[in-house]
Each structure stands twice: as structure tokens, then as C-alpha cells.
Amino acid sequence: MPLFKKKKTDEAPKQQVQQQVSYEKLSIFVTIVNHGIADPVIKLFQNFGVSAQFVQRGEGTATRQIRDILGIEDTGKDIVISIIKKDKIEEIKPDLLAFFSASKYNKGIGFSIPMTSMIGVKVYQFLSNSL
């Protein structure tokens, strides 16, 4: 007499369900603004679902003579690096331009760099805010 009996089932073996993740191309969007203006730029990008952002302090490159001619005292810059989906770039541009036009202190520059490859699904999901 066997100690364990197998249950007879008519069910088909369970198949593993694979999670479908739609992959959209990512870009690195770099925004360089005057020192102290990074927080509004970060909030602007967060409104478009961007969750991975980094801020780095920078320094302008103008010489002392040029700064004296233009009346520039502070050359400090904030560099905001955002990881965004490529299709969101065109949506963000008008709002970023409006932000730059809102005040004479909100001057800056923004540009994007396409990402061509990435290692790891979880890294992609974290950077694209799709976890």
C-alpha cells in the first residue's frame, strides 16, 4: 500500500503567465538653468510622469571680462538630468519654453540625448516609471 496517492486531475498543467511590458525608447533630457531654478524645472518634468531626475551644480564658462561687459555676477548653474520617454519630449517642450519665457531669471537651455541600449528590465522599468 503506497503512503502517498497521486490525485487524478483533468486540468491541464498551469502555464506560466509572462508579463507583457511595452518598451518605449528613453532619452536623457539635460536642462541647464541658473543656480536655484532647478526645483521648478524638476516639478515641471514630474507633471509629465518623469520620476528619475538628478541635479548637479555647474559653473558658467564666461571669462571675467565678458561677465563685466554683460553685467553678470553669478555664474552658478544647476544641471537637471531627467530620464524621459522619447514621445514625451514634444509634450514637454512648450511648457519648458513657457517656463523660460516667464521671467528674465528663468533662462536656460534644454536638449535631449537618445538612449540606445540598457541592461535589465527592472532598470528600464525604474527609469521609465513603469514599475
Q: How confident is the model at residue 1, as a pLDDT?
A: 54
Tell me: pLDDT of 11 over 70: no
**Is 29's pLDDT higher than 90?**
yes
Residue 79, pLDDT > 90, answer yes
**Residue ranges per structural domain of the chain:** 26-127
CATH of span 26-127: 3.30.70.120
Comparing 61 with 109, the larger pLDDT belongs to 109
In this predicted structure, what is the pLDDT of residue 18? Answer: 53
- How confident is the model at residue 8, as a pLDDT? 62
- The whole-number pLDDT of residue 81 equals 96
How many DSSP H helices and E strands does the chain contain? 4, 4
Secondary structure (3-state) at 90: helix
